[in-house]
């Protein structure tokens, strides 16, 4: 097989195959008459006819039927089919090979694609995402994985962001946490992972082996829009399935603006984007109100909390993206009404209560600045 795109990145090829590339016969070559181009608005390439071009890549021999099946699983859900084509090797010889070609009309062509630039920007995220994808090989179809791939990338980006946070200065997780077994138990828009582990107790001994699981979401940006001149905030209300499933008879919940942080996007960018998508608001500034896990006992979700400075007029509106099934009502209320709701335990959304209490501490400063 000949690889012109991301599978030229040997660590990714190894992750997809589940074995070392040292066991394979790899040679550099090119595909005459074609070029590798970025797919518009995506982080992966496609091959396209280019009469004057020759797409560089690697020819891999020694693949087993199992290897080919794993490769087809990884690529198949994204609309790529295998085709036999002639390849020119760097040693001056030619040979026939199979290449993954995109289905006609599936993607829009972008700029010429660079493996080096892609690896620098997307390599680590793609490796983490591929790890989750391939853990479901033999358990799900390629088409099912493709449907879930956007959320897989969200979790991969969140994992990489978590790796950049400071380590515990008083503990070494390499020796203070022992993992005996690890399983990816469930995959849909969200995921569930399960582990058998021990951790070092406060008395210095290791705990018993315990089975625990965690709900995986990603990173989210939460922003409470605040108008310091009019001294009012905007809240959004929408139906929340987990609240309904918990047995709560009031599953429509008042919240700040919120949404998941997309791969390649900063939390600040996500906050501005969500404010426009959910409430039609342009934020003049963001005030950082904290970074927290939403529920450390059950979920990996990591929240970036903000108060967004903006101008609030009117009575609110209906917003949200229809493509994401959102039906969001917004409401503008005074600061005093907000705090009466907090003190009266009327709000059940933790990020709303948290950002409201942060606003209470900083309101005078924000109003003075305005």
In sequence order, which residues have a C-beta less than 8 Å from that of residue 325 and are 6 or more positions away? Answer: none
Q: What is the pTM of this model?
A: 0.90
Residue 222's CB is within 10 A of a number of other CB atoms, namely 29
What is d(CA 186, CA 180) in angstroms, rounded to the nearest whole number?
A: 19
Q: What band does 325 get if pLDDT is binned at 50, 70 and 90?
A: low
125 exposed, middle or buried (CB, 10 Å; 0-12, 13-18, 19+)?
middle
Element spanning 368, H or E: helix 350-369
* The CATH fold of domain 219-369: Nucleoside Triphosphate Pyrophosphohydrolase (3.90.79)
Helix (H, G, I), strand (E, B) or coil at 84: strand
What is d(CA 250, CA 213) in angstroms, rounded to the nearest whole number?
A: 28
> If one looks up domain 2-141 in CATH, what number appears?
3.10.490.10
The tokens for 192 are: 């569930």
Range name among 17-26, 119-128, 212-221, 297-306 with the lowest pLDDT average: 17-26
Q: What band does 102 get if pLDDT is binned at 50, 70 and 90?
A: confident
Given a contact cutoff of 8 angstroms between Cβ atoms, the answer to whether 220 and 261 are in contact is yes
Helix (H, G, I), strand (E, B) or coil at 40: coil
Same fold, 2-141 and 219-369: no
Q: What band does 321 get if pLDDT is binned at 50, 70 and 90?
A: low
pLDDT digit string (tens) for 257-311?
999 999 999 999 999 999 999 999 999 999 999 999 999 999 999 999 999 999 9
All structural domains of the chain with their residue ranges? 2-141, 173-216, 219-369
Residues serving a catalytic function are 324
Q: Which residues pair with 214 in a beta bridge?
A: 193
């Amino acid at each position: 097989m000949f690889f012109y795109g991301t599978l030229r990145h040997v660590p990714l090829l190894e992750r997809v195959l589940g074995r070392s590339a040292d066991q394979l016969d790899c040679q550099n070559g090119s595909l005459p008459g074609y070029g590798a181009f970025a797919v518009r608005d995506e982080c992966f390439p496609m091959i396209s006819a280019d009469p004057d071009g020759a797409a560089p890549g690697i020819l891999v021999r020694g693949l087993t039927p199992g290897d080919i099946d794993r490769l087809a699983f990884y690529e198949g859900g994204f609309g790529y089919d295998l085709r036999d084509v002639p390849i020119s090797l760097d040693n001056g010889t030619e040979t026939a090979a199979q290449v993954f070609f995109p289905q006609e009309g599936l993607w829009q062509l972008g700029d010429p694609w660079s493996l080096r630039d892609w690896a620098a920007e997307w390599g680590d995220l793609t490796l983490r995402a591929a790890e989750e994808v391939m853990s479901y090989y033999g358990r799900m179809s390629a088409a099912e994985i493709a449907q879930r791939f956007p959320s897989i990338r969200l979790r991969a980006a969140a994992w990489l962001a978590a790796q950049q946070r400071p380590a515990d200065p008083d503990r070494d997780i390499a020796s203070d946490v022992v993992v005996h077994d690890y399983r990816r138990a469930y995959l849909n828009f969200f995921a569930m992972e399960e582990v058998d582990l021990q951790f070092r107790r406060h008395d210095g001994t290791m705990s018993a082996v315990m089975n625990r699981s965690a709900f995986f979401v990603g990173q989210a940006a939460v922003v409470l829009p605040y108008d310091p001149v009019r001294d009012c905030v905007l809240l959004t209300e929408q139906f929340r399935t987990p609240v309904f499933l918990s047995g709560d008879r009031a599953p429509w919940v008042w919240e700040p603006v919120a949404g998941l942080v997309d791969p390649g996007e900063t939390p600040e960018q996500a906050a501005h984007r969500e404010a426009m998508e959910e409430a039609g608001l342009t934020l003049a500034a963001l005030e950082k109100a904290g970074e927290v896990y939403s529920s450390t006992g059950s979920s990996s979700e990591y929240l970036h909390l903000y108060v967004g400075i903006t101008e609030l007029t009117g009575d609110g509106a209906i917003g949200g993206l229809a493509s994401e099934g959102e039906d969001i009502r917004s409401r503008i209320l005074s600061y005093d009404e907000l705090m009466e709701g907090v003190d009266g335990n009327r709000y059940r959304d933790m990020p709303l209560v948290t950002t409201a209490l942060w606003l209470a501490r900083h309101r005078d400063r924000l109003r003075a600045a305005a």
